[in-house]
């Protein structure tokens, strides 16, 4: 990809926003717990893309980059004073059914690492090994997060996230 070419650059960025905006936003929202910060993180992720214009081997590599950058950018957020000015999520996201609402809010109540692996495993369909590579964390740790997250979900919502079909 010739990056000097303004048109190509714009095309690429447009395409990237179209392809990854929902995923980036979902991860940011899951981790921030409010729209205000999620939107800031969202912008920061794409700013970083435009700054670095990384070269990706393939789509998977590209996708992993977006996941990792989004997660990294949210890491320090919950310590910041920003959070004080935000509205609770329940006030502005309403789902179609009570079940969806309940399960979403239960997942949102988990701690950061747990809800992140739940999202990547159950929504994005990644395997433990892949999550460990994306998050640069040992597989062992991912497995533990996942199983503890499942345990917690089982405690909090009937049926939990059991895998049995």
CB of 21 to another protein, least distance (A): 4
Q: Which residues contact 68 (CB under 8 A, 6 or more apart)?
A: 134, 135, 136
Q: Is the separation of the CB atoms in 33 and 116 below 8 Å?
A: no
Minimum Å gap between C-beta 111 and another protein is: 4
Binding map of another protein across residues 132-161, x = CB under 8 A, - = no contact: -x----xxxx-xx--x----xx-xxx-xxx
Among positions 72-91, residues that touch another protein (CB under 8 A) are 72-73, 75-81
Nearest approach in angstroms of CB 85 to another protein is 14
Would you count residue 8 as binding another protein (CB under 8 A)? Answer: no
Distance separating alpha carbons of residues 145 and 147, to the nearest angstrom: 6
CA distances from 2 to 63, 73, 98, 126 (A): 20, 28, 49, 31
Q: How far apart are CA 12 and CA 10, in angstroms?
A: 5
Q: Contacts with another protein: how many residues (CB under 8 A)? A: 78
Rounded to 10 degrees, the C-alpha dihedral 48/61/19/119 comes to -90
CB of 86 to another protein, least distance (A): 15
Which helix (DSSP H) or strand (DSSP E) does residue 123 occupy?
none
Residues in 90-129 at the binding interface with another protein, rule: CB under 8 A: 93, 95-97, 99-104, 107, 109, 111, 118-119, 122-123, 125, 127-129
19-58 footprint of another protein as x/- string (CB under 8 A): --xx-xxx--x---------xx-xxx-xx-xxxxxxx-xx
For 95, phi then psi, to 5°, come to -95, 170
Q: How far is the CB of 82 from another protein (least distance, A)?
A: 8
């Amino acid at each position: 990809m010739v990056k000097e070419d303004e048109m190509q650059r714009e095309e690429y960025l447009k395409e990237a926003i179209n392809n990854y905006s929902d995923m980036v936003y979902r991860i940011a929202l899951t981790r921030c717990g409010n729209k205000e910060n999620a939107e800031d993180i969202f912008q920061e992720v794409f700013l970083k893309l435009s700054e670095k214009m990384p070269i990706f081997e393939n789509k998977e590599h590209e996708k992993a980059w977006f996941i990792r950058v989004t997660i990294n950018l949210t890491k320090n957020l919950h310590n910041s004073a920003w959070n004080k000015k935000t509205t609770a999520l329940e006030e502005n996201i309403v789902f179609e059914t009570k079940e969806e609402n309940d399960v979403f809010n239960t997942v949102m109540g988990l701690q950061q690492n747990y809800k992140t692996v739940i999202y990547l495993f159950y929504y994005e369909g990644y395997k433990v090994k892949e999550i460990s590579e994306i998050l640069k964390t040992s597989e062992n740790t991912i497995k533990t997060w996942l199983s503890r997250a499942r345990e917690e979900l089982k405690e909090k919502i009937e049926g939990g996230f059991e895998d049995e079909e």
